[in-house]
Amino acid sequence: MPDHATATAKVAVFVSGTGTNMAALLYASRLPGSPYEIALVAANDPAAPALALARAEGVPTFALAHAGMAREDHDAAMERAARDAGAQYIVLAGYMRILTPGFVGRWERRMLNIHPSLLPAYPGLDTHARAIAAGDSYGGTSVHLVTEELDAGEILGQIAIAIQPGDTPAALAARVRLAEHQLYPRVLADYVSRWNDPQHLLARVRTLALALPQTHERESHGAPGFRVGTEKSGKFFAHFSDRHHGAPHVSLLVKCAGLDELETLVEAQPHAYHKPAYYGASGWIGVILNRADLDWDDVAHWLRRSWQQVAPKSIAGLLDTADAS
C-alpha cells in the first residue's frame, strides 16, 4: 500500500521543442527530498528533441502530431496519456499550443505554465522585444496557473532580470532562460507540497466552510472552528486540528453518522480518516487533510453533511435553497 502522507506528486510535462525547462524540472526531481517526479513527457511534435532526452533518462514519453487533428481531439489524446501515466499535475514547458477550455477546466489549479515576462506585463509572444521597446528596466519570467484566459492565471513565482544597455531580445532571452531553470523547479516543488502546509489547508477549509449558509468562524480550545447559526447560539459543525493531542495529522473534524460509520471508515481507509481524541466518542470523525491524494470535493461533502446535522431547523433548508439558485 502506498504511503499517502509522503508520496511524491506525479507530474506530466508537455513540450514542443528542445525541452530545457523540462530538463531542469527532471534533474531537480532527482535531488533527495524532491516532492515530485516526472511521470511522463508528452509532445505535439514527435521530432521534439525533448523526447530523446526524456527517453535517455528513462522517463516515459508520448508524442502525437497535432497537424490535421481537431484541437479537442488532440487535447483529449494528450490528456489521456497524462492520466494513463498517473499524473496529478500537468506542467507546460515550452508547449506551443493553446488548450481547449474543457481541458483547462478539468485540470483547474493542477496545471502550471512558465512565461518569459513579469506578468501581467506582456502576455503572449515577443515578450523580450516588447519589454526592450517599452524602455523597461527589467524583463523576467513568471510561473502561473493555467486558466482559459491566456497567461492570466494566479502568479506563483517570478524572477526579474535587468535589461542592460544595448540589450537585444536574444541576449535578454538567454539570461531569462537561466532564471527559468532556477524558478520552475522551485515553484513546482513548493506548489505540490502545499498539501502538507497547515496554513494552506486551513485557508481551503475556511473558504469551503464559510461558503455554507449562516456560518462563522470561532476559536475553540486554541484552534479554528466553524459554527452555523448566530454568534450567540451557533453550534460547531467543524474543527480544524493541526496535529493536536499528539496526532500526526492535520485534519478536519466533522460530525459523522455515529460510531459505527466512524469505525468502519477508519478501519477501511486509515490513510484518510482517524478517530480524534476526545471528539471521537461524541460522533466526530477526523478527515486527514495532509495527504497527497486528498479530494477537496470530498472535504466539501463532509462539511455539508456536518452542517446539515447541526443546523437549526429554521435555517436547514437554506442549503437546499442555495443549491437550487
pLDDT at 280: 85
- Compute the average pLDDT of residues 82-95: 97
- Compute the average pLDDT of residues 270-287: 92
pLDDT at 8: 87
pLDDT at 111: 98
pLDDT tens for each residue of 180-221? 999 999 999 999 998 888 999 999 999 999 999 999 999 998
Please provide the average confidence, as pLDDT, over all residues in the chain.
93
Q: How do 250-255 and 235-242 pair as beta strands?
A: antiparallel
Under DSSP, the state recorded for 2 is -
- pTM given for the model: 0.76
pLDDT at 4: 41
- Catalytic residue list contains 216: no
pLDDT at 278: 85
Q: What percent of the chain stands above pLDDT 90?
A: 85
Is residue 305 a contact partner of residue 254, using CB atoms and an 8 Å limit?
yes
pLDDT tens for each residue of 286-297? 999 998 778 999
Q: Is the pLDDT of residue 269 over 60?
A: yes
pLDDT tens for each residue of 132-141? 999 999 999 9
- Compute the average pLDDT of residues 75-80: 98
Nearest-angstrom CA–CA distance, 105 and 149: 11
Rounded alpha-carbon distances, angstroms, from residue 296 to 137, 173, 207, 292, 302: 42, 39, 11, 11, 10
How is residue 69 written as a grid cell? 487533428
- Compute the average pLDDT of residues 227-240: 95
Q: Is the pLDDT of residue 60 over 90?
A: yes
What DSSP line would sit under 103-162, residue for residue?
Answer: HHHHTTTSEEEEESSSTTSS-SS-HHHHHHHTT-SEEEEEEEE--SSTT-SPEEEEEEEE
Instruction: Map out the domains of the chain as residue ranges.
Output: 9-196, 198-324
Q: Is the pLDDT of residue 2 over 80?
A: no
H or E segment to which residue 263 belongs: helix 259-268
pLDDT at 321: 56
Q: Is the pLDDT of residue 90 over 70?
A: yes
pLDDT at 98: 94
CA atoms within 13 A on the CB side of 268: 6
- For 9-196, CATH gives 3.40.50.170
CATH architecture of 198-324: Alpha-Beta Complex (3.90)
pLDDT at 3: 41
- Of the pLDDT bands very low, low, confident and very high (cuts 50, 70, 90), residue 313 is confident
Q: Is the pLDDT of residue 322 over 90?
A: no
269 φ, ψ to 5°?
-135, 70
pLDDT tens for each residue of 134-167? 999 999 999 999 999 999 999 999 999 999 999 9
- Of the pLDDT bands very low, low, confident and very high (cuts 50, 70, 90), residue 320 is low
Q: Which residues are annotated binding-site positions for (6R)-10-formyltetrahydrofolate?
A: 71, 96-99, 113
pLDDT at 248: 85
* Catalytic entry in 115, 144, 244, 274: 115
Q: Which residues are annotated binding-site positions?
A: 19-21, 71, 96-99, 113
